[in-house]
Structure 1
Amino acid sequence: MGIVRRQSTYSTIFTYLGFAIGALNTMILFPRFFSTEAFGLTRIMIDFSLFFSALSTMGSLNALYKFNPFYKDFLPKGKNDLPYLTLMANLIGSILFLIAAVGFEPFWEKHFGHGSPLFVTHFRLVIPFTISYTAIMVLEAYCWVIKKTIISNIVKELFYRLTTTLFIFFYIMHWISLETFFVLFSYSYVPAILVLMYVVYQNGGVTLYRTISRATKRLYKKILVFTSYHYTGMLIGVLPRTVDGLLIAGLTDKGLENLAIYSIPVYLASIMDGPYRSMLGITTTLISEAWKNKDMAKIKELYHKTSINLLIIGLLIFGVLMPNIDNLIRFNPEYSLAKAIFIVAGLAKIIDLGMGMNAQILLLSKYWRMDFYSSLLFIFINIILDYFMIRHYGVMGAAYGSAIALIFYNIIRFTYLWWLFKLQPFDRKTLYVLLIAAAAIFITWVIPYLGNLYLDAIVRSLVFTILYLPTVIYFKISEDINAMFKGMLQKILPKSR
């Protein structure tokens, strides 16, 4: 786990720097300087683009992760045509999206016209946003293949948010109009695309070899079957973050305003995903290699360690945010539903993180069809639950629907891995960290309000962190967390002498 710990640590630092900039944009700048409807428009542009960019990949990125180790073994350097085939699949997917976006424009107008008329008038701005995000995913996949996960995470997490902050600043200073801001926002991923293209080019790890190789001739049937089954694979990571917003905007009155309010607690819950996103690139590569080598001990180790590490960090973030939700409501009373939404979304996310890299282990195994069927079931349940719950319970229904679907999906994957491989990620330390976190959250929660929301937030955050982290380290819940702590001490103590 050394390479995972090292690369994940660096990636996590920059991921959370990106989250901090995103929090500045999402929780302070947009609500203060933009109307709720205009803020909601930026949210639905993101949700729409994330969902349809996943479709535009046509399942090809999972095929790249799955089969690239075999291509590397079978072919001489520079003769690997899989990256080129992946690029072509995404190009075709983007063209199909472009045709569908324009051709079905009357459908979008009918679906969103009642609750989100501002989205209808700006609909075509999602086209450059979606295509540019598809390009980001392809370039990120190339970086994963050449194990440049740190730089890809830095660029992906930081550049888009910094670009957005810059455009907001232009608008605040009245250098651009609101309409110009929306146009610039739709191209906000372009700087990140240029940087990742340079990174891939400089490292020379991905060559676009256009001649069909003997590996493709040998594996193409398996690749086509795998890709066709996993056309939904890339949706799983983005569906919980997108279907809610699309349905809220389309089914509720004042859809964009409701979406803007809903996006705040959901963004806070998404912060818990930071370690997972940082760990995903390098861990996916290692799991793929372990399956190729039939190294079940390595897979079991990765499953357990990713589970406990993600759970520890996820609970740390939840424990800092949860007692401070009341301060968010004090900051802006419009966020009165934030506490309930965050509790539901946050608890579901804790369960998801505690399951570790179960999706990647199942996806990259020979039983990957099981992942496909469970993913398809998850998508169906998520959409159906969200649709009916939003119609009956409004914005709160979106939180309930997504949480139930996410928990059910994880139970299915857990059951598959236990049934097929006798793999499960938990031990007594899982229970210990849950008890430690629950006790620390309770103590922090019952502290009386200190009268100043900023002072109160600082005190609650410090109290929980002091109660939680040292206890986790003392009881050696995770050897990776303890190794990181020991490494930090070794760097700090000599300087203090």
Structure 2
Amino acid sequence: MGIIFKQSFKNTLFIYLGFAFGGINTLFLYTRFLEDEYYGLVTFLLSTSNLLMPLIALGIHHTIVKFFSSYLTKIEKDRFLSSVLFLPLIIAVPVAYFGNLFYEQIGDYLSIENPIIKDYTFVIYLIAVACSYFEIFYAWAKVQFQTVVGNILKELWNRVVVMILLFAVYFELITKPEFIYYLTGAYFLRMFVMMFYAFKLYLPKFTFSKPDNFKEVLRFSGYIILAGSAGAIILDIDKFMIPGKESLVKAAYYSVAVFIGSFIEAPSRAMLNILQPLTSKTLNEENHKEVASLYKKSSINLLLISGLFFVLINANVTQLFNLLPKEYADGALVVLMISLLKLYNGFLGNNGAIINNSKFYRITLPLSASMAVSVYLLNKLFYYELDMGTDGLALATLIVIFSANTFKLFFIKSKFSITPFTDKTVKMIFIIAVLYLAFNFWDFPIDNIYLWKFPIHPIINIILKSSVITAVYLFLIFKLNISNEFDNLLKKFYK
């Protein structure tokens, strides 16, 4: 667990640094420097490109992680990488051709309720291509067990660029439309930086020869591309559907609430960056004892870290929304549902990596497809028919992903005879529940304080309350010896 914990710790720091920039952008700059309509437009374009990205990537980023460690010689590895690197062009080129051919029809369809979308439809494709190849080269680095640089580029790069561009808009150095074009260029620049770093770590001798198991590679990619496309629908269909009923402004409001609720998933993303290739390697080596060990350790450590941020976010959610314009204030329930979902994901550890990199990966296709259909139908029911607003969209996501993750839990138990549970799991859940209930319904009685008409009393309240929660939380997990890795980290810090 040493290499996992070291790189996960570094990745977590950079992810939360990225969240800090993202939080400033989302909570303050976007809402004040960019009109709500343009903020909603950016949200829509990025979410729609995320829907297209798995199709263009052809699942190659997952394929690299699964198969690279199974090749024993450099010749085999070079054949594998050479054969998969250009496969996404099989999809990207025809999509570009037909997208250009039917651009007017596509633009008209996407902009029925919001005409502003039509002029930027092509941006969806460009960002999808840039993100696809970024993920491929990021996977290239992951299988060399080097995740930190890619993590910085993924989590920090775009948020810093967005901050710079938002200030450029504020100071009238660029226009709002130019903001979108410069942001698109930043995605391509990030892709090239990742490519050069990946080639620096491992530069193959490119060849036209295919690996002996090329058919199996294609079969896996086919399953993963469909499963990945369905997975993208689950994550971004809600933001895509909002402009079909309401204005882009609503997408902006919902995006802020989802961002706040997603804050707790940073540890999971950080740890899984290194867990994915390690899980694949142990499965390829048929080291089931190590697979079980990774499963349990990742679960308790992610539950521990995610639990702290779950309590911090939800105990301070009222004060967080007090920092925003009043139009954003109805998102507290969305934050709770999304954060509950992210907490459960953390508890499951490397659950998904075990399935995706094992011989049972085929189950991901019907599972993801059923999830995509379910979330679409529930969104239609809650959002359109029952008119539950964005709370309905969050509820649909919570129900579908919670059900699917529970299925994965039992599936791994039946196929591998392992679970993420340890004797510390119940203690950890109890600590999270008690602290949430204890701190959620009160705040420090601080008078209203304004600095240049900006309210700073919520910030003071958040700092005081978070300090108390963190101190109590760390004391309990240290005294109860929840995690050996975390105990060792605390001891080093204390010394």
Question: Please, what TM-score do these two structures have when normalized by structure 1?
Answer: 0.92
Alignment of 1:42-53 (within 5 A): 42-53=42-53
**Equivalent residues in 2 for 1:193-208 (5 A)?**
193-203=191-201, 205-207=202-204
Asked if the contact 2:298/2:349 (under 8 Å) is kept, the reply is yes
Larger displacement relative to structure 2 (27-36 or 106-115): 106-115
SS at match of 2:88: helix
* Alignment correspondent of 2:293: 301
Give per-residue Cα distances to partners, 1:1-59, cap 9 Å, x unaligned.
Answer: 11100111111111111111111111110001111111101111110112211211112
Q: How does 1:54-453 map to 2 (within 5 A)?
A: 54-71=54-71, 73=72, 75-76=73-74, 80-106=78-104, 108-203=106-201, 205-207=202-204, 209-213=206-210, 216=211, 218-235=212-229, 238-250=232-244, 252-254=245-247, 256-331=248-323, 332-392=325-385, 393-451=388-446, 452-453=457-458
Say which of 461, 466, 470 aligns to 1:456. 461
Q: Secondary structure at the match of 2:186?
A: coil
Q: Using the TM superposition, name which of 283-292 and 112-121 deviates more.
A: 112-121
8 Å Cα contact 1:81/1:210 also seen in 2: yes
Letter in 1 for 2:373: F
Separation in 2, partners of 1:111, 1:358: 38
Q: In the alignment, is the contact (CA less than 8 A) between 2:21 and 2:160 conserved in 1?
A: yes
| Distance in 2 between residues matched to 1:94 and 1:484, nearest whole Å | 46
Mapped to 2, the partners of 1:335 and 1:275 lie a distance apart of 26
What is the SS of the residue equivalent to 2:15? Answer: helix
Q: Partners of 1:448 and 1:380 in 2: how far apart? A: 41
Shift of 1:453: 1.2
SS of structure 2 residue aligned to 1:181: helix
2:205 and 2:411 map into 1 onto residues whose CA distance is 37
Unaligned runs of 5+ residues in structure 2 are: 447-456
CA contact (8 A) 1:291 1:364 kept: yes
| Cα displacement (A) at 1:167 | 1.2
Q: Would you identify which runs of 4 or more consecutive aligned residues in structure 1 move more than 6 Å?
A: none
Q: Secondary structure at the match of 1:89?
A: coil
Secondary structure, counterpart of 2:286 in structure 1:
coil
Kindly report the root-mean-square deviation, in angstroms, between the aligned alpha carbons of the 2 structures: 1.9
Q: Deviations over 1:343-386 (max 9, x none)?
A: 11111221122111111101111111122222222222122222
Deviation at 1:433, TM superposition (A): 1.0
The 3 A distance-change label for structure 1 pair 211 and 175 is same
Structure 1 residue 77: Cα displacement: 5.1
Give 5+ residue unaligned stretches, structure 1: none
CA contact (8 A) 1:147 1:282 kept: yes
Q: Higher mean Cα deviation, 29-38 or 444-453?
A: 444-453
Q: Does the alignment pair 1:470 with 2:475?
A: yes
Moved more, 397-406 or 181-190: 181-190
Q: Does 1:486 align with 2:484?
A: no
- Cα 1:98–1:377 change in 2 (3 A) is same
Kindly indicate whether the alpha-carbon contact (under 8 Å) linking 2:52 and 2:128 is maintained by their aligned counterparts in 1: yes
Q: Distance between the aligned counterparts of 2:55 and 2:473, measured in 1?
A: 41
Distance in 2 between the 1:275 and 1:385 partners? 29
Q: Aligned equivalents of 1:312 and 1:239: distance in 2?
A: 29
Report deviation, 1:266: 0.4
TM-score by length of 2: 0.93
What is the letter of the counterpart of residue 64 of structure 1? I
Distance 1:78 1:230, change over 3 A: closer
Identity of aligned residues (%): 24
In structure 2, C-alpha distance between the alignment counterparts of 1:194 and 1:30, rounded to whole Å: 27
* Alpha-carbon shift at residue 316 of structure 1 (Å): 1.0
Deviation for aligned residue 1:241: 3.1
Moved more, 296-305 or 343-352: 343-352
Q: What's the CA shift for 1:234?
A: 3.0
For 1:362 and 1:454, how far apart are their aligned partners in 2? 42
